[in-house]
Chain A
Amino acid sequence: MKVKSYLPPKFIVERNPDRCIQCQVCVNQCSFDVHYYDAEDDEVRSHEENCVGCHRCVVFCPTNALTIRKNPLDYRENYNWRPEVIEDITKQAETGGVLLTGMGNDKGYRIYWDHLVINASQVTNPSIDPLREPMELITYLGRKPDRLELDHNSLSLKTELAPQVKIEVPVMFSAMSYGAVSLNVQKSLARAATEAGTLWNTGEGGLHHSLYEYADNTIVQVASGRFGVHSRYLNAARIIEIKIGQGAKPGIGGHLPGEKVSADVAATRTIPQGTDALSPAPQHDIYSIEDLAQLIHALKEATNYTKPVAVKIAAVHNSAAIAIGMVRAGADIIVLDGFRGATGAAPKVIRDNVGIPIELALASVDSRLRQEGIRSQASIVISGGIRSSGDVVKAIALGADAIYIGTAALVALGCTLCQQCHTGKCAWGICTTNPFLTKRINPDIGTRRLTNLLRSWSLEIKDILGGMGINAVESLRGNRLHLRGIGLTKTELEILGVKMAGN
């Protein structure tokens, strides 16, 4: 029995009849079956209830005939029972299932980046013009020694350095697995990282054989599913990242739905085609810091101590204490993913309610590691909703060594944050393995869009640094005196370790 759904359309599709030429481009472009051609009336029409607001059709309509507007859904005003709440309950009542969603937490929690402002030099310290003077963005990731010993005769280094990885810009592409995103997306990321001298991250779906040529710019992930983890994979990488958690869904695992597990995805992950790829919530060989140390050293042993091992956690309440354990367990890099970090699929209730903002986690982790005197033993990489070069600079001043971007990279490829990644129907061809859709990302164009983004941000970061009178990003790291807070409480300022603006 098909029961009428009580869910109203979220968007209104307006087709300007004066402009529409019935070309059906929108029909072909829409993967959510909104537009359809009515042969009887020779007219293109819409099923508005299917529209997710991705704007693919709007961009591709040759005559600009389409406008997608939010359906006002003017229920009687009620701040508690907002339309989103009503719709969620309706969906649950109609399906009995857990609500899934894609991308990151979209709720109105405070964005601390927007309450931090950056300093600039005036009079007492000259600013630097990055167009004419050298400006350094090079960053080295990995464990740093507490002190260096030199051989005084040969002037060579006596201290044995832990493996270091050099990146040309402190911005890397965060973990997005093959299966969650398409191979063309990974190819674009890998090539852009290679061209820009930074790194991309395989996520936990293994490394497709065609991407081994970009291994020098690749971070490989080892997560609870252990998909595609074998010694060639580990030895190919520049950095090995153990994924404990993810900001979009701290504490829970993942289920890549069977529909997305194509033959190629299955081969890369070593699971039968069409089965769900299940990532258990914990890694069953890690129940403690001691166990984490064991896996870190297993990976180091498996690669003969040639690569830094990173450990990624979701930013949660005790991040600072956990981070201390991670560093003492031997992590060379710690990765903190804030609650705005995106995902290919997560239960909505988890995405929107679990975890903490990355700004606070970063500040408290950096402070605690300093207090413990072990900050230099690990690099800090952060992720989770970084939108601009301004955010990057603020993050570095708060203590980050480098920044991962995920959502921003996908936006560069066309993503409009429609949050339908979990459906596998991404109209922009990003979060899907459907061959009809994946060819919408051309790796040549994708690479260019991503390298352009990194270039813009690099130029902007240099501009900001120059304005502060700093000529190397190293000198900004953890330099919180270059930040001031606006509109923050005393406690917030304390945790962030910054002064109030004007102070």
Chain B
Amino acid sequence: MENKVIKRTASPIDRIDATGFSSRELNARIRELAHNGTERVELYNVYGQRYIGTDLDRPIEVKIFGTPGNDLGIFMDSPRITVYGNAQDGCGNTMNDGEIVVHGHAGDIAGLSARGGKIFIRDDVGYRTGIHMKEYGDKKPALVIGGTSQDFLGEYMAGGILILLGLNLQKEEAHRTNFIGTGMHGGVIYLRGSINDFQLGKEVGTAEPEEKDWQILRKFISEFADHFGYNAEEILEHKFIKLFPLWLRPYGRLYAY
């Protein structure tokens, strides 16, 4: 398998043909390159290898051509990953810092318990996206989704920014996501495209975005547009609604003391 690392001394890019690699082998290879000081790695023929990007604590650029497996960038701490393909479940799981850009769809629980960093998904996402994202002080994760999502978006959210753009919805077509923000007790969700009240969790309130919200939206939507070749202004022209937690302590009244 030695010959599968094609290292070109002249080029700053290290390329790995992942064909036939197990998750462990592929990650070991990337770790080794990172250890040797690489700045950019390109992975070809990725077929479901898991955990890519974990245990790398430098802002290395990783480009993935193919389909990375579950838990892409789990516990990740600063690399920038771009996927030319779809991500599976657990993309950005418990991520601490860095960036994941997916030119395609992502499966369930993208951004689960993320504590920092940014995730951009061009198309749709599965269930429980952004569940239990957190924040403290200036550590604040952001997750931007170009398409729409399955149920329980932003469930249990304790912090962070979640933006759902619905760019692939037809005119007048509503998001089909139910139970948005169930158990949410921190952070903020911005929705573009229409939504019915019954689709929202009991713990969220709605509001029109204010100027400080637009600042956030402009910042992240510009980045989103840059990644995927959209026009940020056009996206921003549309109506947005802001969802916020009604209570910091959603279950405070559940107990007898």
Residues of chain A having any CB pair with chain B under 8 Å: 91-92, 94-100, 225-227, 229-232, 234, 255, 257-258, 266-267, 269-272, 274-278, 280, 284-285, 294-295, 297-298, 301-305, 422-423
User: How far is it, in angstroms, between the C-alpha of A351 and the C-alpha of B177 when the chains are bound?
Assistant: 36
Which A residues are CB-close (under 8 A) to B76? 231
Residues of B within 8 A of A92 (CB): 256
Q: CB of B183 within 8 A of chain A?
A: yes
Residues of the A chain whose Cβ atoms lie less than 8 Å from the Cβ of B192: none
Q: When the two chains form their complex, are residues A270 and B115 in contact, meaning their CB atoms are under 8 A apart? A: yes
* CB-based contact A298/B71 at 8 Å: yes
Additional A-B contacts beyond A231-B57, A278-B158, A302-B55 (13; CB < 8 A):
A97-B254, A97-B255, A231-B96, A258-B249, A276-B251, A277-B158, A278-B132, A278-B251, A284-B132, A294-B90, A297-B23, A302-B51, A305-B24
Q: Which residue of B lies closest to A91 (CB)?
A: B256
Minimum CB–CB distance from B124 to chain A (whole Å) comes to 19
CB of B118 within 8 Å of the partner chain: no
Is the CB of B67 closer than 8 A to any CB of chain A?
no
Q: Which residue of B lies closest to A272 (CB)?
A: B186
**Stretch from B135-143, B167-175, B226-234 forming part of the interface with A:** B135-143
Q: State the CA gap A271–B248 with chains docked (Å).
A: 11
Interface string of B43-73 (1 = CB under 8 A from A): 0000000110011010000000000001100
Bound Cα distance A226, B134 (Å): 9
Residues A298 and B186 in contact, CB atoms below 8 Å apart: no
Determine if A231 and B156 form an interchain contact, defined as CB atoms under 8 angstroms apart.
no
Provide the residues of chain A in CB contact with B256, threshold 8 Å: 91-92, 94-100
Partner among A98, A226, A231, A275 whose Cβ is within 8 Å of the Cβ of B248: A275
A271 and B186 within 8 A (CB): yes
Task: Indicate if B109 sits at the interface (CB-CB under 8 A).
Answer: yes
Interface size class of B (residues with CB under 8 A): 35 or more
A99 to B257, CA, bound (A): 7
6 pairs, A vs B, C-beta closer than 8 Å: A94-B256, A99-B256, A226-B132, A232-B77, A275-B186, A276-B251
Asked if B51 contacts A276 (CB within 8 A), the reply is no
B104-146 residues with Cβ-Cβ distance < 8 A to A are 109, 112-113, 115, 128, 131-132, 134-137, 139
The 6 closest A-B pairs by CB, nearest first: A97-B256, A226-B113, A95-B256, A230-B96, A275-B248, A301-B51
Q: Which residue of B lies closest to A226 (CB)?
A: B113
Bound-state Cα–Cα, A302 to B50, Å: 11
How many angstroms between the C-alpha atoms of A258 and B158 in the bound complex? 12
**In the complex, A257 Cα to B255 Cα: how many Å?**
10
Query: CB < 8 Å: which of B89, B93, B135, B248 contacts A258?
Result: B248
Q: Which residue of B lies closest to A92 (CB)?
A: B256
The reply on B209 being an interface residue by CB < 8 A is no
Asked if B27 is at the interface (CB within 8 A of a chain A CB), the reply is yes
Q: Does B179 contact A (CB under 8 A)?
A: no
**A278 partner residues in chain B, CB cutoff 8 A:** 132, 156, 158, 183, 185, 250-251
What's the nearest-Cβ distance from chain B to residue A264, in Å? 11
